[in-house]
Structure 1
Amino acid sequence: MFPDLLRDDIFRLETKRLWLRWPRIADAAAIVRLAGDKDVAQMTARIPHPYSQAAADRWIFESRVGNAQGSAVVLALTLKDKPSELIGVIGVHQTRAGRALLGYWLGKPFWGQGLMTEATNALVDLAFRASEVEKIETHAMVDNPRSCGVLLNAGFSVEGEKPVDMAERGGVFVCRYFGLDRESWQARQTAPLASGDMRLAC
Structure 2
Amino acid sequence: MFPDLLRDDIFRLETKRLWLRWPRMADAAAIVRLAGDKDVAQMTERLPHPYPPSAAEKWIFESRVGNAQGSAAVLALTLKTRPEDLIGMVGIHQTRPGRAVLGYWIGKPFWNQGLAREAVGELVDLAFRTSEVERIDAQVRVDNPASRAVLEDSGFRLEGVGLVDMPVRGGAFDCQRFQLDRAGWMAAQQVRDAALLHADCVRSAG
Q: TM-score range by the shorter chain?
A: over 0.9
Q: Quick one: distance in 2 between partners of 1:173 and 1:190?
A: 36
TM-score by length of 1: 0.94
Runs ≥4 residues deviating over 2 A: 190-194
Q: Which has the higher helix share?
A: 2
C-alpha separation in 1, matches of 2:125 and 2:164? 29
Matched residue, 2:115: 115
Task: Give the aligned partner of residue 10 of structure 2.
Answer: 10
**Separation (CA, whole Å) in 2 of partners of 1:121 and 1:18:** 12
1:153 aligns with 2:153: yes
Whole-angstrom distance in 2 between the partners of 1:188 and 1:80: 27
Q: Which has the higher relative contact order, 1 or 2, with Cα contacts under 8 A spaced 6 or more apart?
A: 1
Q: Secondary structure at the match of 1:49?
A: coil
After TM superposition, the structure 1 = structure 2 runs for residues 103-182 of structure 1, keeping only pairs within 5 Å, are: 103-182=103-182
Q: CA deviation at 1:164?
A: 1.0
Superposed, 1:42-121 pairs within 5 Å as: 42-121=42-121
Give the drift of 1:192.
9.8
Per the TM alignment, residue 171 of structure 1 is displaced from its structure 2 partner at its CA by 1.2
Could you tell me how far apart the structure 2 residues matched to 1:106 and 1:193 are? 28
Question: 1:189 Cα shift?
Answer: 1.1
Could you tell me the TM-score, scaled by structure 2's length? 0.92
2:31 corresponds to which residue? 31
Q: In structure 2, what is the equivalent of residue 199 of structure 1?
A: none
Unaligned runs of 5+ in 1: 197-202
**Structure 1 residue 190, shift from structure 2 partner:** 3.7
Which secondary structure does the structure 2 equivalent of 1:2 belong to?
coil
Deviations 1:146-202 (A, max 9, x none): 1001000000000001101111111110000000000010011149989x8xxxxxx
Question: How many residues are treated as equivalent by the alignment?
Answer: 195
The SS at the match of 1:188 is: helix
Q: Which residue in 1 is equivalent to 2:187?
A: 187
Secondary structure of the equivalent of 2:189? coil
